[in-house]
Amino acid sequence: MIGILIVAHGALGECLIHCASHVLGRRPLRLRQLGVTVHDDPELILPHAKELVKDLDDGSGVLILSDICGATPCNIASRLINPGHAELLSGVSLPMLVRALTYREENLDSVIQKAMAGGVNGVMHLNAQSDHPVE
């Protein structure tokens, strides 16, 4: 099973886990988060982040999700990348996380593609006059 680590600002990761747990009806296994605050030193957080990745990897790999590309959490997460074993997607959202959790029994490359599709397809412009997305 692909492990999932969310590295994000403040409590965002825990909030996403809480929401995903609600949607799925249970708290998923092999899902952790690392909240980064303005007071945290990235160099001091990095060893803990590496340990989380190690703990989450059962040999299937780890998908790391971060919030804003270029921000401190993503910069920390980028130092965890190990191609084919620990991969990173930025722009984490609830649709992205739910898709990753739903398909995590597949291989890491497949989970990455499903998670990206969940993130992209989860953004819709809804017309106030109807129940249907605007195309």
Confidence label for 133 from pLDDT (cuts 50, 70 and 90)? low
Domains of the chain from N-terminus onward:
3-121 (3.40.50.510)
C-alpha span between 20 and 38 (Å, rounded): 26
Could you read off the pLDDT of 53-83 as tens digits, one per residue? 999 999 999 999 999 999 999 999 999 999 9
Q: How far is CA 107 from CA 79, 81, 115, in A?
A: 22, 16, 12
Global pTM?
0.93
What per-residue confidence (pLDDT) applies to 131? 63
Kindly calculate the radius of gyration of the chain based on its CA atoms and give it in whole angstroms: 15
Phi, psi (degrees; rounded to nearest 5) at 5: -120, 125
Could you read off the pLDDT of 31-46 as tens digits, one per residue? 999 999 999 999 999 9
Could you read off the pLDDT of 86-107 as tens digits, one per residue? 999 999 999 999 999 999 999 9
